[in-house]
Amino acid sequence: MTLKLRELSMLDDGFNPGHGLCAGCSESVIVRQVLTALENPPVVALATGCLEVSSTRFPDTAWKVPLIHSAFENAATSASGVEAAFKALVRKGRMADRPITFVVFGGDGATYDIGFQWLSGALERGHKFMYVCLNNEGYMNTGIQRSGATMLGAWTTTTPAGSVTPGKPQWRKDMTGIIAAHGIPYVAQAAVHHWKDLMTKVRKAEAADGPAFINVLAPCDRGWRYEPEDTMAISRLAVETALWPLYEVENGKYKLNGPRHKSLPIVDYLESQGRFRHLLRNGDPAVVEEIQGIVDLEWNRLREKCGLEPELSKNEAEAVTSAD
């Protein structure tokens, strides 16, 4: 089935209106893109987080597909158990075999931090499931605390911008790369504004012969401090600055799916969100430069993995030009 927007918009995705996610939240958009893209009926496992508390408040549920949540850190293991149960029930002749896709949604806290071991174990064991990280770069559900996915310099309630430290002092973890190192058949990075890329990746993840992982940048207007209507624009900026490149690792082979060139400096991204305002307002060029430097470095490392030549940063390009 090809991805045609007109047709997709008519499908019942299984995630209903009436949930309590914030205006401007990207998570419901991502969830609906994922569910719509699936070819098979899903069983969904959730980690504790914004999506879970906003969509499963008893006696209501926003979900019209079977769903399980049990704790914060173990959604991948829930899926392990469901998948194993299905295999055994079929093997014992207690249930007919049929196509089912086991999908996990977990935030970056559940993925990068508290649930890392559970996810890693499930991937290593090779359960056939798809893990979608709704990466809003922090513990937004508990009130915008920093996580291992939070950007260097970002304000959060546990890394406030103070007179000594300018927001989060560390760079984020390269979770997509870490998952790729597990050697699972399909790993990808995606962004909410690029629906076709995201949904194509969901299809590939579903078809993969083993575990699959998609890390989706999930802009959070409350936590990132921008206006709700800007979610898609912010997501686009993250990709165009090469802060969040769209790529996939299919059976070990890296491929860039998004723009092949970095078209905007990181400062454009930083300026778009209140969480970085202190870096710009207080004139902390060192942190901004450090961020740009890491983005450039990671971008070229990724390009190399994709078999592309390194791309010079603006400063490097100017240096080359003046030398000519």
Partner 1 sequence: MVDTRERAGIGVAGEPAASTAIAMNGGEAVAYALRQIEPEVVAAYPITPQTLIIEKFAEYCADGVVRTEYINVESEHAALSACVGASAAGARAVTATAGPGLALMFEMLGVTSGMRLPIVMHLCTRALSAPLNILGDHSDAMAMRETGWVMISGSNPQEAYDLAIVAQIVAEHPDVMLPCATMIDGFMVTHAVERVDVLPDDVVREYVGEYEPEMSLLVPGSEATYGALDFRDYYFEHRRQQEAALYAAQSVVEDALQRFGEISGRDHHILEPYMMDDAEVALVMMGSAEGQVHAAVNAARAAGLKAGALRIRLFRPFPVAAVAEALSGVRVVGVMDRAIGLGSADNPLLADVKAALWSRSDRPLARGFVYGLGGRVVTQGQMNQAFDELRSALETGEVGTDPTYLGLREVQDETVLGEGTTA
Q: Which residues bind partner 1 (CB under 8 A)?
A: 43, 45-46, 52-53, 56-59, 61, 63-71, 73-74, 77-82, 84-89, 91-92, 94-95, 98, 100, 117-118, 120-121, 124-125
Considering only CA atoms, which of 251, 253, 291 is closest in space to residue 270?
291
As measured in angstroms, the least distance from the Cβ of 273 to partner 1 is: 29
CA 218 → CA 51, 192, 223, 260, 261, distances in Å?
12, 7, 11, 21, 22
How far is it, in rounded angstroms, from Cα 49 to Cα 117?
18
Query: What's the rounded Cα separation, in Å, for the pair 149 and 310?
Result: 25
Of 69 and 193, nearer to partner 1 (C-beta) is 69
- Show the tokens assigned to 263: 């078209």
Which C-beta is closer to partner 1: that of 64 or that of 260?
64
Q: Report in angstroms how near the CB of residue 70 gets to partner 1 at its nearest.
A: 5
Q: Between 86 and 171, name the residue whose CB sits nearer to partner 1.
A: 86
Tell me whether residue 58 or residue 321 sits nearer to partner 1 (CB atom): 58
186-191/101-107 β-pairing: unpaired
- Chain center to CA of 118: 17
Neighbours of 106 (CB within 10 A): 29
Q: Are strands 42-46 and 212-217 parallel, antiparallel or unpaired?
A: unpaired
Find the shortest distance in angstroms from Cβ 47 to partner 1. Answer: 11
What are the backbone angles phi and psi of residue 305, rounded to the nearest 5°?
Answer: -60, -30
- Give the list of residues 6+ apart from residue 302 with CB closer than 8 angstroms, or none: 245, 247, 254, 256
Nearest approach, Cβ of residue 110 and partner 1 (Å):
13
> Is-cis flag, bond preceding 166, omega within 30?
no
CB of 180 to partner 1, least distance (A): 19
Q: Please, what is the minimum distance in Å from the beta carbon of residue 176 to partner 1?
A: 21
Residue with smaller CB distance to partner 1, 53 or 233: 53
CB of 272 to partner 1, least distance (A): 32
Q: Of 49 and 148, which has the nearer Cβ to partner 1?
A: 49
CA distance 151 to 156: 10
